Amino acid sequence: MFVLRLSLVAALSLFAATSPVLASEAASPPGEAQYQQAVALLKTTDPQLADLMWRVHLNQKPADFNEKMARLGEQFRVTEQLLSDSATAGHPIAQYRLALLYQAYMTPGAEKMMCDLSALSLEAGFAPAALYLQNACLSYTQGPRYTPALQGALAKFDDYARYYPQPAVWLTCGAPPTGTAMQLGSAKDFRAELYKLLASQADRRTA
């Protein structure tokens, strides 16, 4: 069982209201050190989790499944702490990756937090979060903040160029997923997705 810190989103919202916008591509967001530590762990644990879930899907659950999941659970808690610290500091990519972490581990009761994290990430200009919102957060995408956030992400796209590639679950512009692993999208893939979402929003307004 993976336990959430329910005060995280409140802290994030307070930070988002007071934090400055990134000045340039050279400037790193607050919480960069924790984000990089978390990413280093995810490079090891993401493939392990995907392999276990694929074996379960094939009805080939390994005999040591519980032990492996327990070890991954320990790494989950370390990674969650790092990403939470970074996200609370205002790191848009950490906010996105924390939402994906909760999804990957099917964390109970995390749905609203995942949407809130993704909204904060997108509104800071990080395009990949738009895909999660489009597919899992209907109330947000039908609200007044979504289209301006998409436009803002397009304007700020190059500010985050060094953070690509990034994982995604519903990437349509890019290589198809393998097994249960998340797709890995390039900057070009996510820019194309952003244009598609903006076009879809424009069609909805004129329909």
Tens of pLDDT, residue by residue over 26-84, are: 489 999 999 999 999 999 999 999 999 999 989 999 999 999 999 999 999 999 999 99
**How would you class 185 by CB atoms within 10 Å of its CB: exposed for 0-12, middle for 13-18, buried for 19 or more?**
buried
Instruction: Give the per-residue pLDDT at 180.
Output: 66
Full-model pTM: 0.84
If you average pLDDT over every residue of the chain, what do you get? 87
* pLDDT band at residue 24 using 50, 70 and 90 as cut-offs: very low
Measured at the alpha carbon of residue 95, what is the angle toward residues 146 and 167, in degrees to the nearest 5? 90
Backbone conformation region of residue 31, classed left if phi is above 0, alpha if psi is from -120 to 50, else beta: left
Cα–Cα distance measured from residue 95 to residue 83, given in angstroms and rounded to the nearest whole number:
7
pLDDT of residue 174: 67
- For the residues 120-141, what does the mean pLDDT come to? 97
Worst-scoring range by mean pLDDT, 24-28, 74-78, 132-136, 160-164? Answer: 24-28
Phi first, then psi: what are they for 183, rounded to 5°? Answer: -70, 155
